[in-house]
Amino acid sequence: MAPQNNKPKPVTTLRCSSIKASIWKNEGMNGPFYNVTVARSYKGPDGAWKNSESFGFADLEALLVVVQQAKVWVSEHSSR
C-alpha cells in the first residue's frame, strides 16, 4: 500500500506564464479566510520542476496578472 500524502493543498492555483498564485483556505475564530502564495516555476539542471519565490524584471507583468486574479478570486469567495 502506498503512503498517503496528507499535505494541505491550495483551493485553487492561478497561472500566467511561469508564475502561479496558490490560494489557501484557513479556518479562524471568525470563520474561513484565504491566504495567497506566489511562485515562479522553472526546470532545474536535472530537468525536475522547481519553484522560486524570486522574480526578475521579465516576470513582473505575469506576477501582476496572477495577483490581480487572486484578489478577485478571494473577494468573490470571502464573506467579509
What pLDDT is recorded for position 7? 87
Distance between CA atoms of 28 and 44, rounded to whole angstroms? 37
Please give the mean pLDDT across all residues of the chain: 93
pLDDT value at 54 more than 60: yes
DSSP secondary structure code for residue 26 in this structure = E
Mean pLDDT of 14-23: 98
**Percent of the chain residues past pLDDT 70, beyond the cut:** 94
| Between 70 and 7, the higher pLDDT residue | 70
DSSP H helical ranges for 1-80: 60-77
Q: Are 39 and 20 in contact (CB under 8 A)?
A: yes
Is this prediction's pTM over 0.75? yes
pLDDT score recorded for residue 14: 98
